[in-house]
């Protein structure tokens, strides 16, 4: 019943009057608290006895109380200032909002693989080829993204893409009453970002471990060769991660409903890359050569606007 009250269109096809009565920010608040799967889902969890009140965090309790007070203040005769403040509310638990946080977490992890020593490390020919291939794809996606959001062909530097996510996400992406097709796309994008972040964390951890072992001179000959390839390959992995971030941004800012199955097919290939990238960089494998090949293959499949992964 709760979900039915918060839909955009009622069963008889008419628009839900609650949307017009409350407005988008207040609907976002209610959906956050009551509906979104990764939110607190207060009604169903309390009514089904799934909540231990003593385990509710202070942050979550404060959020719930703030929303309740804001909804009460909305109908107060005197202006308390709460309603003005909450007009800028943005969803916390919508899948698109969580995707934003996951993208920023991935971006924040990339400096682990970027330092002067790694950047200046001599590289094998195969690694140089991978850097050129993936780097070229990143430039293409950055140019396409800039064209998509500003109608110019100038390329975006990666730090500008990060700034877009931080400052303009909710301007470019709407979270209220998103279609099921879009939610399916977001689910694939989130899994791709999660696997990519896991891979970067694994690479960073192995880099730290091998550096410590190298400094102590405890690496065997084969391990030293593997460590050298890892150092050379970090630039490839950072570029591939940036490429994935760019593809995600293109997709969520230009969702093409009429070509849904083509989009899903292409994004599943990106997800497959991210899963394999995660697997090949795991502590039990450390297959940096295979990971490089995966990054090159991923880059070669990117075709910009509309997003198609061939």
Least confident of 128-137, 158-167, 234-243: 158-167
In angstroms, the CA 292 to CA 226 distance is 13
Task: Please answer whether residues 249 and 164 qualify as being in contact, where contact means their C-beta atoms are separated by less than 8 angstroms.
Answer: yes
Beta bridge mates, 309: 302
Least confident of 2-16, 202-216, 264-278: 2-16
| DSSP alpha helix (H) spans, 35-57 | 42-47
The CA R_g of the chain, rounded to the nearest whole Å, is: 23
The pLDDT value given to residue 94 = 95
Q: What is the band of 217 on the pLDDT scale with cuts at 50, 70, 90? A: very high
The pLDDT value given to residue 306 = 46
The pTM (predicted TM-score) of the whole model is 0.88
Mean pLDDT confidence for 222-248:
93
* Helix (H), strand (E) counts: the chain: 15, 2
Mutual orientation of helices 58-74 and 24-34 as an angle, nearest 10°? 140
DSSP designation for 196 = H
In angstroms, the CA 150 to CA 186 distance is 23
Angstrom CA distances, 234 to 32, 104, 111, 137, 302, stand at 38, 19, 10, 17, 21
The pLDDT value given to residue 101 = 97
pLDDT beyond 60 at 172: yes
pLDDT beyond 80 at 130: yes
Look at residues 246, 225, 243 and name the one whose alpha carbon lies nearest to residue 296.
243
Contacts 24+ apart (CB under 8 A), 181-184: 181/255, 181/257, 181/260, 182/255, 183/95, 184/264
Mean pLDDT confidence for 162-183:
89
The pLDDT value given to residue 238 = 95
Least confident of 67-76, 93-102, 174-183: 67-76
Q: Which of 29-38, 179-188, 210-219, 271-280 has the highest mean pLDDT?
A: 271-280
DSSP designation for 14 = P
* 262-308 tens-digit pLDDT: 888 889 999 999 999 999 999 999 999 999 999 999 999 885 444 54
Question: How much is the mean pLDDT over the chain?
Answer: 85
In angstroms, the CA 274 to CA 65 distance is 40
Contacts of 136 by beta carbon, 8 Å cutoff, 6+ apart: 299
């Amino acid at each position: 019943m709760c979900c039915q009250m918060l839909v955009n269109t009622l069963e008889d096809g008419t628009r839900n009057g609650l949307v017009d009565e409350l407005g988008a920010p207040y609907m976002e608040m209610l959906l956050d608290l009551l509906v979104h799967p990764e939110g607190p889902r207060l009604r169903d969890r309390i009514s089904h006895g799934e909540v231990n009140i003593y385990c509710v965090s202070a942050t979550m309790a404060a959020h719930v109380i703030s929303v309740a007070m804001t909804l009460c203040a909305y109908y107060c005769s005197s202006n308390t200032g709460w309603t003005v403040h909450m007009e800028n509310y943005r969803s916390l638990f919508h899948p698109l909002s969580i995707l934003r946080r996951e993208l920023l977490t991935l971006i924040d992890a990339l400096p682990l693989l970027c330092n002067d020593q790694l950047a200046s490390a001599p590289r094998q020919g195969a690694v140089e080829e991978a850097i050129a291939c993936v780097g070229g794809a990143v430039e293409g996606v950055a140019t396409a993204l800039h064209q998509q959001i500003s109608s110019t062909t100038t390329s975006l530097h990666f730090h500008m893409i990060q700034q877009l996510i931080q400052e303009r996400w909710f301007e470019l992406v709407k979270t209220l009453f998103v279609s099921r097709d879009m939610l399916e796309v977001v689910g694939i994008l989130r899994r791709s970002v999660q696997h990519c972040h896991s891979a970067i964390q694994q690479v960073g951890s192995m880099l730290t471990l091998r550096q410590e072992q190298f400094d102590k001179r405890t690496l065997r000959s084969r391990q030293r060769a593997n460590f050298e390839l890892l150092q050379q390959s970090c630039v490839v992995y950072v570029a591939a991660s940036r490429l994935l971030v760019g593809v995600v941004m293109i997709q969520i800012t230009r969702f093409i409903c009429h070509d849904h199955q083509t989009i899903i097919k292409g994004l599943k290939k990106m997800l497959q890359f991210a899963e394999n990238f995660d697997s090949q960089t795991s502590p039990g494998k450390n297959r940096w050569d295979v990971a490089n090949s995966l990054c090159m293959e991923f880059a070669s499949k990117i075709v910009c606007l509309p997003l198609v992964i061939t």
